[in-house]
Amino acid sequence: MSSFQIRQAVEKIKAGEVIAYPTEAVFGLGCDPLNKEAVLNLLTLKKRSIDKGLILIASSLTQLEPYLQLTPTITSQIQNTWPGPVTWLIPCQSWVPKWLTGKHSSLAVRVTDHPIAQALCKENGAPVISTSANTHDKPPATYSWMVSNNFKNKSLFILPGQVGHLKQATPIYDILNKQQIR
């Protein structure tokens, strides 16, 4: 993975396209979370219901702050796990679009420690959607060739690289009740 490839991926995101990239456990599909057309294209590609909501990843908490209703208690709890492979459901600001939250009043967020995903968010200067690069009828992609197989005949920029060491998707916890959702 080169800085040129990271810049190419960011150009695709800023142009409203969906990309694939390695994360802590699997390849993810991503796009600009505030570009409704891009998000709807991602949901269509993945065959995922808008009601489920999506995860945003970022290179720092600062990138996520505008989306979230943070308190000092919440901030101290999440900072103990970030950067790292833990996703939190956190109450979000009222302006956050339903295409991100689904039927929920919180937003799933993570400050990633995967070097490629982190570089992508840093270069983008903003969070990126992160959902596994597969449709509901296929297993999550752990190699770029699997992404290509999962989305045959689709124009999809794939950022090369290896997924992290996790054997399953990142755990998701609800910040308000500390319950593990996934």
pLDDT tens figures, 28-45: 999 999 999 999 999 999
Annotate 50-81 with b (16+ C-beta within 10 A) or e (fewer). beebbbbbbbebebbeebbebeeebeeebeee
What are φ and ψ of residue 29, in 5° steps?
Answer: -95, 140
The whole-chain average pLDDT of the chain stands at: 95
Q: Where are the beta strands (DSSP E) in 72-141?
A: 87-91, 106-111, 128-132
Pair 66, 90: CB distance under 8 Å? no
Q: Considering the domain boundaries, does residue 39 fall inside one?
A: yes
User: Has residue 94 been placed in a domain?
Assistant: yes
What is the domain count for the chain? 1
Would residue 180 count as lying in a domain?
Answer: no
- pLDDT band of 122, cuts 50, 70, 90: very high
In a domain, 52, yes or no: yes
In a domain, 158, yes or no: yes
Residue 156, pLDDT > 80, answer yes
Residue 116's closest CA among 134, 105, 130?
130
Q: Is residue 73 part of a domain?
A: yes
Residue pointed to by tokens 């390849």: 27
Residue 59: which domain range? 3-174
pTM for this one? 0.95
CATH code of the domain containing 145: 3.90.870.10
Please report whether residue 181 resides in a domain: no
- Asked if residue 121 belongs to a domain, the reply is yes
